[in-house]
Amino acid sequence: MSPQASKSSTPSQQHHNHATRNPSHLSLIQSASSPLNTRPASPYTLNPPIDYDGLSWPSIGARQRLEQTPEEAKAREQKIAGAVRTILEELGEDPDRDGLLETPERYARAMLFFTKGYEDNIGDVIKRAVFEEDHDEMVIVRDIDVFSLCEHHLVPFYGKIHIGYIPNKRVLGLSKLARLAEMFSRRLQVQERLTKQVAMALWEILQPQGVAVVMEASHMCMVSRGVQKPGSSTLTSCMLGRFRETHKTREEFLSLIGKR
């Protein structure tokens, strides 16, 4: 089946739906039945969740990062730091003053950490934690802390993700659900895609009867600029298989994670 997803948000939380600002995209939105069809050409959801070598939706430079020598890694960090120095200068700052002296290098290392999920291999993430188990009841890990970076502003969005699935003879070590969320959140993201990627990867790994992922997050690009009221959050969900088909199953999941 083709995995689908749904998104719910209040009208004031449509910020990331940048397509609505582009009239040529507007007709696409209006003709599509699902809100997520606003990105019909997204390589992230058209390509298979797991690539031939275990990378999952790798970015264009992911393999280069993975295979770099220590010298290349250092050169990459220096290049980013140089760009940050330019930013500091253009902000009207003095990159040579005491407090900022090592900021470019520090920021470069931070950015590489925030995007380390591109280098994660699904095989390493899952390890040998897929088990045959005669269990067919819902499994839920809720309130997993997630820190990610909004790809439109390169500022953080963070919150909680709740992951549920109904096994089909195979279960995954519980800590791996959090590792999956970590892998996809340590990339440049939009919340809708992050939610969907976690769901699709789990679907691919376990071939379960159903997968449900709900994420609630605060976006610094919105709360800090007053677009979104501080304290409000954006909610996204992706329901696959039985969670999508069966209202009762979906309701049970939502009530178990405290959303009903």
Active site residue 153: yes
Decide if 237 contacts 212 (C-beta within 8 A).
Answer: yes
> Which residues are CB-contacts of 41 (< 8 A; sequence separation ≥ 6)?
none
Active site residue 30: no
Active site residue 238: no
Looking at beta carbons only, is 84 or 221 nearer to Zn ion? 221
User: Rule CB under 5 A: is residue 201 a binding residue for Zn ion?
Assistant: no
The residue annotated as part of the active site, out of 189, 191, 197, 228, is 191
Mark the segment that binds Zn ion (CB under 5 A) among 32-40, 44-52, 123-131, 221-229.
Answer: 221-229
| Dist CA 196 CA 144 (whole Å) | 16
* Three-class SS state of 239: strand
For the record, the structure tokens of 97 come out as 């003053």
Interacting positions 122-151 with Zn ion (CB under 5 A): 150
Active site residue 132: no
> Which residues are CB-contacts of 259 (< 8 A; sequence separation ≥ 6)?
214
Decide if 216 contacts 234 (C-beta within 8 A).
Answer: yes
| Cα-only R_g, the chain | 20
Kindly report the backbone phi and psi dihedral angles of residue 117, in degrees, each rounded to the nearest multiple of 5, phi listed first: -65, -20
The residue annotated as part of the active site, out of 150, 162, 216, 238, is 150
User: Rule CB under 5 A: is residue 63 a binding residue for Zn ion?
Assistant: no
Active site residue 152: yes
User: Rule CB under 5 A: is residue 152 a binding residue for Zn ion?
Assistant: yes
Mark the segment that binds Zn ion (CB under 5 A) among 28-36, 41-49, 75-83, 215-223.
Answer: 215-223
User: Rule CB under 5 A: is residue 221 a binding residue for Zn ion?
Assistant: yes
Q: Catalytic residue positions?
A: 150-153, 191, 219, 221
Q: Which residues of the shown chain bind Zn ion in the complex (CB under 5 A)? A: 150, 152-153, 221
